[in-house]
Amino acid sequence: MSRVAYVNGLYVPHAEAAVHVEDRGYQFADGVYEVCEVRGGRMVDERRHMGRLQRSLRELRIAMPMSLHALGVVLRETIRRNRVRDGIVYLQVTRGVARRDHYFPSPDTPPSIVVTARASIPAKAPAPAISGAAVITVPDNRWDRVDIKTVGLLPNVLAKQAAKEAGAREAWFVRDGVVMEGGSTNAWIVTEAGTIVTRPAETGILRGITRTVLLEVANRLGLTVDERDFTLDEAFAAREAFISSASNVVVPIVSIDGKTIGDGKPGPIARSLRDSFYDVAEFARK
């Protein structure tokens, strides 16, 4: 079956989907995006993702391309047309098409919207969670507003590629010795005392939706969480470390920059958070 994409009001064959060469997302990375997990044919945490989308658009002064209800219909229809039972749905909104100019275009310029969906193979997903994964660290060279989920991801791309070339799954951005977040994930450690530590999401990192849900999961499990900065040295000395994202949920980290974390195996806290995640996550209707 061929894939289908939604592009500015039309459902088109994925292979033929295109945006204008003067779309500001292409010219300036002037746009935002969201990635939502699809599980059993239903979106996971749609409400939270749409809330973050609205915030990102407000911060960049881009108009919503349609009502939330209409957008939900488009997302579900894209999932349906691609017959995705387990996978992801990707949504991107840009400031629209206009003559290339750094200034904002006319206020009546309609935003551009693209939605795609693709299936994953569930059997492959647990492997990193079972065996654990490695991360490397890179200097944080991103702009300060990484709390906005923009499509301007070149530093992230370079960091992820560096991780791949090093045989690692992820790269952690480090600034002044402090771990910020991963190239496409949030970063966590567990101290020797069993406290879960993750950086506050007010500034400097993206407020991950999976991160938000995991904080609720930890609370339900009676685990102690400390939202504070943690240093790379603390990470090296941690009992456990893990990353989180919509497409990964929780992946334990067993080495950082080649240094073994804990006993070199996925720890019980990371496993328990992953196992309990879907007890707390919200499932949208089909």
How many CA atoms are closer than 13 Å to the CA of 209, on its beta-carbon side? 24
Measure the CA–CA gap between 184 and 170, rounded to whole angstroms: 8
Tell me the helix, strand and coil percentages in the chain, rounded to 5: 30, 30, 40
Given 149, 160, 164, 286, the catalytic residue: 149
Measure the CA–CA gap between 211 and 185, rounded to whole angstroms: 9
Could you tell me where the DSSP H helices lie in the chain?
24-28, 46-60, 68-81, 126-131, 154-165, 209-220, 232-236, 268-280
Nearest CA-CA partner of 9 in 82, 85, 87, 78? 78
Q: Which residues of 108-143 are buried (b: 16+ CB within 10 A; e: fewer)?
A: eeebbbbbbbeebeeeeeeebbeebbbbbbbebebe
Q: What is the DSSP letter of 125?
A: T
Q: Is 149 tagged catalytic?
A: yes
Q: What is the DSSP letter of 44?
A: B
Q: Per the structure block, which two tokens stand in for 18?
A: 């295109």
Q: Which residues are catalytic?
A: 149
